[in-house]
Amino acid sequence: MPLRKVLIANRGEIAVRIIRTLRTLGLPSVVVYHAADAGSLAVREADEAIELSAPTGVAAYLDVAAILAAARRTGADAIHPGYGFLAENADFAAAVEAQGLRFIGPPPEVIRLMGDKIRARERVAHAGFPITPSATEEGNPDAFTERVRAIGFPVLVKAAAGGGGRGMRIVRSAEALAAELETARREAERSFKDGRVYVERYVERPRHIEVQVLSDRHGNHLHLGERECSVQRRFQKLIEETPSAALDLDTRRRLCDVAVGIARTVGYQNAGTVEFIFAPSGEFYFLEMNTRLQVEHPVTEMVTGLDLVAEQIAVANGEPLRLRQDDIRAQGHAIECRICAEDADHGHTPTNGEVALLRPPAGPGVRFDSGLCVGQPITTSFDSMLAKLVVHGSDRPQAILRMRQALRDLVLLGVEHNAAYLERVLAHPGFGRGELHTHFLEEHKDALGARPASEQDLVGLLAAAALVARRASLETPEPYASIGPWRN
């Protein structure tokens, strides 16, 4: 039976983005929300909205029982998890299916397998795909430290159930290993309720490149090209683009073929992303698989012309993929910047406020995905990402120029955000040359810092403020006060 109504178990821009695709497909949408999001754009745009009672916003969006009850109450027969929250929770996917509903994502057993980084690496390696040399505590915990030493430093400690950079530590010496292992275990236990960690060889100056895959229930698998996600802070992505400037045609083909092979090996279904570490030598290694829609999926949509949410719905409906690999034709270059509520010049610390004015940029090849509306409170209760600014150009230089202009054109007042910082990143000569790696922002920290305003700029800003602020406490002497606003 084709889907009749879809409940979105998420919030913010991804909820709005899913609602709009459902609307084009003629499918009613339901959103669940916490009281903190009562006035949000997602609640306004959905056909139905169900409030979830919980002590915190995050707790509401993690309340499996309440979400399933909302689906029953509204007659929804499918649930789209978006990304984050419950999107990669195998128990949630299984609970959805146990209620006779469809989970718009891969089967629970695939989520569980690929969510366990240790088991996923073992499965991928067993199938003959490349992974970095690694060591786990399983089998012989007493010899774990010796196995790590045998890999050679530096190494990267990672949480087995990790994500978002939590539970990750770079260790450059044997002396620091024990302390960093313990720190990573505590963070993993706190974040994922799973303190298991593993260690892999750390590749210096690595690039982070991922491949979008799409699979149906009939054993068909294809890729939609790669995305470069190397510009990160604290292991979290800020800028993504496609295609990657690092890949020649042969390397791109091999990388994408490996990604499809991994999807086939694990019996994948729906949209997913296979992530790789790409070394300066040109070698690449499997990193992990994200069993959901990625934040950065719009860049793939911009170059392929596909709607990935619509493709997800088709797969959930049991339809075979309507495209073959040869049908995929990527055109031009796309870049995405994550607009975050943060003070980029002081450690990317989260900020809060209230949206006082919002004027998204526009123009050829410009897309603005957001869940924002004027008056919306911005707090530190949720992830700091406010919106995604995406541009498309005929080639990379044009895409960079369009993104820089779009970042300058964005008007978002009431909360401090990182748009100006992102524009400086794109203006950096190293970014223009495509000389990227996951520590690019740290390496160029000084060059990317905010430039103090000149005295001339400050005078101009004060003059402009005085002219537009009619209600400011400025006393104008007669006869000028009677003349009214001065005009030239």
Name every residue whose Cβ is closer than 8 Å to that of residue 55 and which is 6 or more positions away in sequence.
Answer: none
Q: Can you give 150-197 as a three-state secondary structure string?
A: HHCCCEEEEECCCECCECCEEECCHHHHHHHHHHHHHHHHHHHCCCCE
Cα gap 32→15, rounded to integer Å: 10
292 has catalytic annotation: yes
Backbone angles phi, psi at 221, to 5 degrees: -135, 140
64/86 Cα distance (integer angstroms): 8
Bond into 397 cis (ω within 30)? no
Q: Of all helices (H) and strands (E), which one includes residue 391? A: strand 385-393
Measure the CA–CA gap between 169 and 179, rounded to whole angstroms. Answer: 10
Q: At a CB cut-off of 8 Å and minimum separation 6, what does 115 contact?
A: 88, 90, 161, 291
Active-site pick, 227, 292, 338, 404 = 292
φ/ψ of residue 253, rounded to 5: -60, -45
Whole-angstrom Cα distance, residue 434 to residue 436? Answer: 6
Spacing of C-alpha 466 from chain mean position? 41
Q: CA-CA distance, 92 to 5, in Å (whole number)? A: 19
* Cα 179 from Cα 251, distance rounded (Å): 38
What secondary structure does DSSP assign to 186-253, as a single string? HHHHHHHS---EEEEEPPSS-EEEEEEEEE-TTS-EEEEEEEEEEEEETTEEEEEEES-TT--HHHHH
Q: Amino acid letter at 178? A: A
Q: How far is the C-alpha of 478 from the C-alpha of 462, rounded, in Å?
A: 23
Q: Angle formed by the axes of helices 90-98 and 108-115, to 10°? A: 170
- How many angstroms separate the CA atoms of 372 and 377, rounded? 9
Closest CA to 127 of 289, 319, 344: 289
Greatest Cα pair distance in the chain: 90
Q: Just list the catalytic residues.
A: 292
